[in-house]
């Protein structure tokens, strides 16, 4: 009975892919948001991927060891272990070296943005045209959110035909591309961490990943190994939040939950969510953090997601990039930031359990295809909900085969 209720209650509320491609394309034709999100971009993916703010892809220790074993099949046990360890140490050294360089490049890009870029002709909440400086990220995000709100008001007044015409033919709402927006967000904290991290990397060398695992806060974003992600994005808060909500809400109440904002979300849920999103330090007990601080953090985070979703939706002007242009690194970050991944440690372990390099690559590709579909559904739904929507996907027994959806897009 409960599963039947859930199906009835959630079908019309939360987006689900229809049963076949023909039906889905009919929905795309009448929905500007689906049209933009499903469409193919005519712009460079460099506009949406902030490459200088996230780490390079690095082969896993398992893959490196296996490649060296195959290439040195005649080597003795000691010689083989030495070569494997040396190759892995060199890979780690190169990874950290490039990560440190990236922070330097992003810092230069950020200074240029602060000194030379402003968002002109933006409407504020008083319906007045203003220019937005990019120096303060929080203030910039607030002004951009207000511009989005004003545009939505005008859209609702202009009718669907004008809405489609303006969204898909006129210039972008924000001249600042997503890459610049993300540099402004991510680089300041990395810049602070670099001096200490560089010294520690020189001291600990190939043992640095072990140090980073136990103290992940010292690691710049550009130097985060995949094995460090579970330490950064701890699953305990997300799991506790999901368990609490399963007991507290029936499926018929999921819509009400999704509409809750930063100031009426139950305090215990707000605390778990803030921890899961890394808005408060993981070592500080939540009862020591003032309630108003947590709620304000969640409110700003909601503003940030609205702006970032606008960039990822393909709605920022004709031919805009969307989620299909995201690199795997950006895709993973976007899903973690939206609490779309319940247990990153378990997911990474599943990929690493593949017996061969090919099997692990296949599992990885399938995993990222699934993440892209999760993000697609999130962006479609989030504009009509609020911060309470984060984590609702873990309550729904919604399953879709990413391979089928990708086949619709490729044909």
What confidence tens digit (pLDDT) does each residue in 384-404 have? 999 999 999 999 877 788 889
- Helix then strand count (H, E) for the chain reads 18, 2
The token pair that represents 308 in the structure block: 């970032």
Average pLDDT over residues 156-179: 59
What confidence tens digit (pLDDT) does each residue in 343-381 have? 999 999 999 999 888 999 999 999 999 999 999 999 999
Could you tell me which of 181, 55, 189 has the C-alpha nearest to residue 110? 181
Helix axes 357-382, 61-71, angle to 10 degrees: 160
Predicted confidence at residue 342, as pLDDT, reads: 93
pTM value surpassing 0.85: yes
Residue 220 CA to residue 158 CA, distance in Å, equals 45
Q: Is the pLDDT of residue 161 over 50?
A: no
Predicted confidence at residue 19, as pLDDT, reads: 87
Q: Is the pLDDT of residue 108 over 50?
A: yes
What confidence tens digit (pLDDT) does each residue in 82-99 have? 998 889 889 998 999 999
Could you tell me which of 155, 146, 116 has the C-alpha nearest to residue 128? 146
What confidence tens digit (pLDDT) does each residue in 187-197 have? 999 999 999 99
- Give, for 120, the enclosing helix (H) or strand (E): strand 118-123
Whether the CA torsion 57, 62, 64, 70 is positive or negative: it is negative
Predicted confidence at residue 170, as pLDDT, reads: 46
Q: Is the pLDDT of residue 103 over 60?
A: yes
Pairwise pLDDT comparison (6 vs 62), residue with the higher score: 62
Q: Is the pLDDT of residue 336 over 90?
A: yes
Predicted confidence at residue 156, as pLDDT, reads: 56
Give CA angle at 322 (121, 234), nearest 5°: 105
Whether the CA torsion 116, 120, 122, 125 is positive or negative: it is positive
CA torsion, ordered 346, 348, 350, 355, to nearest 10 deg:
-150
What confidence tens digit (pLDDT) does each residue in 303-318 have? 999 999 999 998 888 8
Mean pLDDT (the chain, rounded): 87
- Please provide residue 121's backbone torsions phi and psi, each rounded to the nearest 5 degrees: 55, 40
List the single range of 4-13, 15-24, 241-250 with lowest mean pLDDT: 4-13
Pairwise pLDDT comparison (382 vs 205), residue with the higher score: 382
Termini Cα distance of the chain: 39
Q: Please give the share of the chain, as a percent, with pLDDT higher than 90.
A: 55
Residue 311 CA to residue 210 CA, distance in Å, equals 36
Residue 9 CA to residue 19 CA, distance in Å, equals 18
In DSSP terms, which residues pair with 132 in a beta bridge? 119
Helix axes 267-276, 235-248, angle to 10 degrees: 150
Predicted confidence at residue 154, as pLDDT, reads: 60
CB-based contact 288:310 (threshold 8 Å): no
For the chain, the domains span: 1-49+226-411
Pairwise pLDDT comparison (136 vs 178), residue with the higher score: 178
Residue 393 CA to residue 1 CA, distance in Å, equals 21
Residue 234 CA to residue 330 CA, distance in Å, equals 19
Q: Please give the share of the chain, as a percent, with pLDDT higher than 70.
A: 88
Residue 38 CA to residue 322 CA, distance in Å, equals 8
Q: Is the pLDDT of residue 160 over 60?
A: no
H helix intervals, 205-287 = 208-214, 229-232, 235-248, 254-259, 267-276
């Amino acid at each position: 009975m409960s599963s039947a209720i859930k199906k009835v209650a959630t079908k019309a509320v939360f987006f689900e892919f229809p049963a076949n491609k023909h039906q889905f394309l009919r929905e795309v034709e009448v929905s500007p948001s689906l049209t933009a999100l499903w469409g193919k971009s005519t712009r460079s993916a460099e506009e949406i991927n902030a490459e200088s703010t996230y780490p390079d892809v690095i082969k896993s220790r398992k893959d490196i060891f296996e490649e060296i074993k195959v290439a040195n099949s005649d080597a003795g046990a000691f010689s083989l272990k030495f070569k494997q360890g040396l190759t892995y140490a060199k890979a780690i050294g190169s990874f950290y070296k490039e990560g440190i360089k990236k922070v330097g490049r992003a810092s230069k890009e950020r200074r240029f943005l602060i000194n030379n870029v402003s968002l002109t002709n933006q409407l504020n909440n008083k319906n007045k045209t203003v220019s937005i400086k990019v120096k303060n990220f929080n203030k910039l995000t607030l002004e951009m959110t207000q511009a989005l709100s004003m545009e939505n008001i005008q859209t609702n007044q202009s009718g669907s035909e004008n809405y489609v015409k303006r969204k898909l033919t006129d210039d972008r709402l924000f001249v600042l591309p997503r890459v610049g927006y993300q540099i402004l967000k991510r680089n300041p904290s990395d810049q602070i961490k670099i001096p200490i991290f560089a010294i520690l990397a020189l001291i600990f060398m190939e043992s640095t990943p072990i140090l980073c695992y136990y103290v992940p806060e010292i690691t710049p974003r550009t130097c985060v190994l995949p094995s460090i992600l579970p330490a950064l994005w701890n699953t305990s808060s997300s799991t506790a939040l999901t368990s609490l909500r399963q007991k507290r809400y029936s499926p018929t109440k999921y819509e009400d939950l999704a509409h809750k904002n930063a100031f009426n979300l139950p305090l215990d849920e707000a605390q778990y969510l803030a921890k899961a999103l890394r808005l408060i330090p993981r070592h500080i007990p939540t009862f020591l953090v003032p309630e108003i601080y947590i709620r304000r953090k969640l409110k700003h985070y909601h503003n940030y997601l609205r702006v970032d979703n606008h960039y990822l939706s393909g709605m920022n002007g004709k031919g805009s990039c969307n989620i299909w242009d995201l690199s795997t690194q950006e895709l993973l970050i976007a899903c973690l930031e939206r609490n779309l991944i319940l247990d990153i440690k378990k997911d990474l372990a599943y990929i690493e359990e593949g017996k061969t390099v090919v099997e692990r690559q296949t599992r990885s590709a399938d995993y990222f295809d699934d993440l892209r579909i999760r993000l697609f559904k999130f962006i479609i739904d989030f504009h009509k909900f609020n911060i309470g929507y984060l984590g609702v996907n873990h309550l729904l027994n919604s399953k879709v085969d990413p391979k089928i959806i990708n086949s619709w897009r490729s044909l």
